[in-house]
Chain A
Amino acid sequence: MTEIIWLGRGGQGAFTAAKLLGAAYADKGSENYALAFPSFGPERRGAPVTAFTKLSSKPVLDRSETEKADHIIILDDTLYSDQLKKLLKNNGKIIVNSRKIADDKIISFDCDSIASELRLPTVNTILLGIFSAVSGAVSVEDIERSIDGYMPEKIREKNKQAVRRSAEEVLK
């Protein structure tokens, strides 16, 4: 099972990304199962938000919060702390939207630049593109299908562009 923890702030779309990833993976085939859920509780704009995606070749029976993740994806680098590494599995990696944080457990990527270039208010789908390129668990096409299925029509094209653009950037 591949387990992903998403960290963001209310309004940045961490849970939307968790859901899009789950949908993209589950839709690939009959042997693909996914669970996506937010950290439960009241929702507040700007407050830290945690979300979870679990991807598996068997039905996901454990509905509890992930304790050890393959990837921790951070939308806002003010939420980063070294303590987060304790939540990683042995080969786990942190993917963070940042220009400054870097070491061997961390893949950092300046998502804000791509977002402003594309005039996107959020970086969640940019990080989905990076996750796709880094992990190979889902393809860019899988995520595009998921965006078509679950995002409002008027923001689909921009977000699909964001996924493609960021995946290319990683593979460059």
Chain B
Amino acid sequence: MKKFLSGNEAFAEGIRLARPAIISAYPITPQTIVVERLSEMVECGSLRSEFIHVESEHSALSCAMGASAAGVRAFTATSSQGLLYMAECLYYASGGRFPIVMMNANRSTALPWNIYGDQRDSISQLDSGWIQAYAENAQESLDLALMSYYIAEKTSTPFMVNLDGFVLTHTYEEVDIPDEEQADKFLPPYETDNKLDLDDPKNMAFSAGPDYNYIFKFKEHQALLNAKKIIKKAEKDFAEIFGRKYSGLIENYKTEDAEFILITIGSIAGLCRKTVDKLRAEGRKVGVVRLRYLRPFPTAELVGSVKNAKAVGVPEKDISFGNEGTVFTNVNSALFQGKIAIPSYNFIGGLGGKNISHEDIENIFDLIENGAERVNFIGIEVE
């Protein structure tokens, strides 16, 4: 069934189809609508789930962990300061290997206080042991809501799906909502041994000293790397059941013969592709890679896409103060591993919700072709 929905509403529809037994959340702009819609679904009975309106984000994730430890599917959602407030629990959830799904509405972090979209919130948590995906549009948001449980549960790793605040969470477009039968076929009920069980008691969420701790951490790392295979399998099964295809950890656009390539994440990718079409019509060999996942990081895939390029640019909505954009750092590590010695440039933009226009993207293509500073701020001239 097709409906005209916002990114938040589309995500809520995906969660309805995933049937979590527990939803625990605390509202925060621009995530609020996903929580509102889910509470309405629980109220009207279209989703049979326990909705727990907790007193904070720290409690929201703690509660989801408790539910996951009891062996059921759990969901939470947050944004910005809320994500930072629950940061302590992110590591508990990943270390405890609880396959919780969380939607994060990407929003700026204070101060200056700001409710608009950038990606500094989730990117600050790349090391927390969660899988991190970034949706581009409302349909992909819904589809990731379903796929995230499939992938999380098969890797015993929590999954954070990121939607750009407002630009994606509050923008309406037509979305195809699968029916429940199809969704159940793709995502059967959750079963796990990693749960509290009176008949089979086990020690959970324990401490581990220096003798064993590093082994658990190694296993967490292995699980995230293994997620690459599971993501492929999830998308293959998804395409068979729903007919929509996804391209794995990255999405290439006209990169095959491209000399100059932008590498980016989230909803800005559409504007980058549109700009590529315009510049291609003028005879310029340009392309775009959208990183659909930042964890696990698509090193090999990215190397394959840019190996013949002359230069790359990374526009991103975050900055690691005193260094550079974090996506850029990760991209450069991949280039180095792939022995690709080409110039790479970073473009920090969209902070605090600042609009990135097609002129900005065109300008970025000009700069990577003609040379620029290593780290550039869109809209700021530095002497």
| Set of chain A residues within 8 Å of B353, measured between Cβ atoms | 40
A36 contact from B30, B167, B172, B267, Cβ within 8 A: B172
* Chain B binding surface, main DSSP class: mixed
B330 at the A interface (CB under 8 A): no
Please determine whether A34 and B173 come into contact, CB atoms closer than 8 angstroms.
yes
Interface residues on B, range: 20 to 34
| Set of chain B residues within 8 Å of A63, measured between Cβ atoms | 167-168, 171, 267, 270-271
Please determine whether B271 and A61 come into contact, CB atoms closer than 8 angstroms.
yes
**Quick one: closest A residue to B172, CB to CB?**
A36
Please determine whether B357 and A64 come into contact, CB atoms closer than 8 angstroms.
yes
B273 at the A interface (CB under 8 A): yes
B356 at the A interface (CB under 8 A): yes
| Set of chain A residues within 8 Å of B358, measured between Cβ atoms | 62, 64
A62 contact from B4, B115, B168, B270, Cβ within 8 A: B270
B4 contact from A42, A67, A150, Cβ within 8 A: A150
> Chain B 1-39 against A: per-residue CB contact (8 Å), 1 yes, 0 no?
011100000000000000000000000001000000000
Give the residue among A36, A38, A40, A149 with the most B Cβ atoms within 10 A: A40
Please determine whether B170 and A37 come into contact, CB atoms closer than 8 angstroms.
yes
Q: How far is the CA of A59 from the CA of B168 in the complex (A)?
A: 15
Q: How far is the CB of A139 from chain B (nearest CB, A)?
A: 17
**Quick one: closest B residue to A52, CB to CB?**
B171
Q: How far is the CA of A23 from the CA of B9 in the complex (A)?
A: 14
| Set of chain B residues within 8 Å of A27, measured between Cβ atoms | 2, 4, 174
| Set of chain B residues within 8 Å of A74, measured between Cβ atoms | none
| Set of chain B residues within 8 Å of A155, measured between Cβ atoms | none
A75 at the B interface (CB under 8 A): no
Q: How far is the CA of A166 from the CA of B167 in the complex (A)?
A: 32
Residue total for A at the interface (Cβ-Cβ under 8 A): 25
Q: How far is the CA of A37 from the CA of B270 in the complex (A)?
A: 16
> Chain A 100-134 against B: per-residue CB contact (8 Å), 1 yes, 0 no?
00000000000000000000000000000000000
Q: How far is the CB of A156 from chain B (nearest CB, A)?
A: 16
Give the residue among A37, A60, A61, A62 with the most B Cβ atoms within 10 A: A61
> Chain A 22-38 against B: per-residue CB contact (8 Å), 1 yes, 0 no?
11001100000111111
| Set of chain A residues within 8 Å of B168, measured between Cβ atoms | 63
| Set of chain B residues within 8 Å of A40, measured between Cβ atoms | 30, 116, 166-167, 170, 353
Please determine whether B271 and A60 come into contact, CB atoms closer than 8 angstroms.
no
B355 at the A interface (CB under 8 A): yes
> Besides A36-B172, A42-B115, A61-B274, 19 other CB < 8 A contacts?
A23-B172, A23-B174, A34-B174, A37-B167, A37-B172, A40-B30, A40-B167, A41-B116, A59-B270, A61-B271, A61-B273, A62-B270, A62-B358, A63-B267, A64-B356, A64-B357, A64-B358, A149-B4, A150-B4
Nearest 9 interchain pairs by C-beta: A61-B270, A23-B4, A40-B166, A37-B171, A26-B174, A36-B172, A61-B274, A63-B167, A62-B271
